[in-house]
């Protein structure tokens, strides 16, 4: 019989495989070719719904089989860490609002400097950090004020997946925005926020 830890790892790998396939440009090209331009406004909502559905079994199994407790952070630090998680959870929707053009299907599939390609247009949270999704994900995980064996295993594997996904996403942004993104990448760190906001100079 498989151990709960192995089952959890399998669930995470299955989620990562599905999530990566749906995020790939090749899959998006196939979908857009099959369904046409009407898919542009639907892809992101459907993509997020599928992500939640495929992540749900992992969360449920982790809740049922957390494993041995490694530590619990005492108060008041428990609440400081939990507060940090709440703040980090607000970063992802903020990042979507600050750069919606990065996630439009037709823009992602276009070549740099073409009529369909949009400008990089750095604003909001992206003036301080290049990948707010990676930053928020790491903060939410590693500020968890308690830790169990299975949670630690999942967090380590999820961190690897998030970092690799961030590298892949950056290569996509370079393909989408060309030299404009390369210049921005030299001045703003991937996950360590700047003390002074980026102004394009």
What 59-65 contacts at long range (C-beta under 8 Å, 24+ apart), as own/partner pairs, is 61/4, 61/7, 61/8, 61/11, 62/8, 62/150, 62/151, 62/154, 64/4, 65/4, 65/5, 65/7, 65/8, 65/150
Query: Is residue 196, in this structure, part of any structural domain at all?
Result: no
Query: Is residue 192, in this structure, part of any structural domain at all?
Result: no
Query: Is residue 194, in this structure, part of any structural domain at all?
Result: no
Predicted local confidence at residue 140, as pLDDT: 96
Among 3-17, 18-32, 112-126, the least confident range: 112-126
Query: Is residue 111, in this structure, part of any structural domain at all?
Result: yes
Query: Is residue 66, in this structure, part of any structural domain at all?
Result: yes
Predicted local confidence at residue 115, as pLDDT: 58
Report DSSP state, residue 86.
H
Query: Is residue 193, in this structure, part of any structural domain at all?
Result: no
Residue 99 predicted with pLDDT over 90: no
Query: Is residue 200, in this structure, part of any structural domain at all?
Result: no
Report DSSP state, residue 124.
G
Q: Please give the model's pTM, rounded to 2 decimal places.
A: 0.88
Residue-wise pLDDT tens digits, 158-167? 999 999 999 9
Domain count of the fold of the chain:
1
Predicted local confidence at residue 201, as pLDDT: 57
Residue-wise pLDDT tens digits, 28-68? 889 888 888 888 888 888 898 999 999 999 999 999 999 99
Predicted local confidence at residue 33, as pLDDT: 87
Residue-wise pLDDT tens digits, 165-186? 999 889 888 877 888 889 999 9
Tokens of 88: 């980090």
Query: Is residue 138, in this structure, part of any structural domain at all?
Result: yes
Predicted local confidence at residue 1, as pLDDT: 65
Predicted local confidence at residue 114, as pLDDT: 62
Q: Tokens 């090209």 sit at which residue? A: 29
Task: Compute and round to an integer the Cα radius of gyration of the chain.
Answer: 19
Residue-wise pLDDT tens digits, 105-138? 777 777 666 656 677 888 899 999 999 999 999 9
Q: Could you give the CA distance from residue 111 to residue 40 in angstroms, rounded to a whole number?
A: 16
Q: Which domain holds residue 111?
A: 4-187
Residue 88 predicted with pLDDT over 90: yes
Predicted local confidence at residue 125, as pLDDT: 93
Nearest CA-CA partner of 105 in 52, 168, 33, 162: 33
Tokens of 129: 């950090």
Q: Tokens 């308690």 sit at which residue? A: 146
């Amino acid at each position: 019989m498989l151990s709960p830890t192995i089952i959890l790892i399998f669930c995470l790998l299955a989620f990562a495989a599905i999530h990566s396939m749906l995020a790939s440009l090749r899959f998006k090209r196939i979908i857009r070719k099959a369904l046409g331009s009407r898919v542009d406004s639907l892809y992101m909502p459907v993509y997020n719904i599928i992500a939640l559905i495929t992540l749900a079994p992992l969360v449920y199994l982790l809740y049922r089989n957390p494993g041995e407790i490694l530590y619990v952070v005492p108060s008041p630090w428990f609440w400081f860490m939990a507060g940090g998680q709440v703040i980090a959870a607000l970063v992802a929707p903020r990042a979507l609002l600050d750069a919606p053009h990065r996630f439009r299907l037709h823009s992602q599939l276009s070549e740099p400097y073409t009529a369909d390609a949009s400008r990089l247009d750095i604003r909001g949270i992206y003036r301080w950090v290049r990948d707010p999704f990676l930053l928020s994900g790491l903060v939410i995980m590693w500020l968890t004020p308690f830790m169990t064996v299975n949670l630690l295993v999942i967090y380590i594997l999820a961190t690897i997946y998030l970092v690799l996904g961030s590298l892949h996403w950056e290569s996509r942004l370079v393909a989408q925005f060309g030299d404009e993104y390369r210049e921005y990448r030299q001045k703003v760190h991937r996950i360590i926020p700047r003390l002074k906001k980026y102004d394009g100079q």
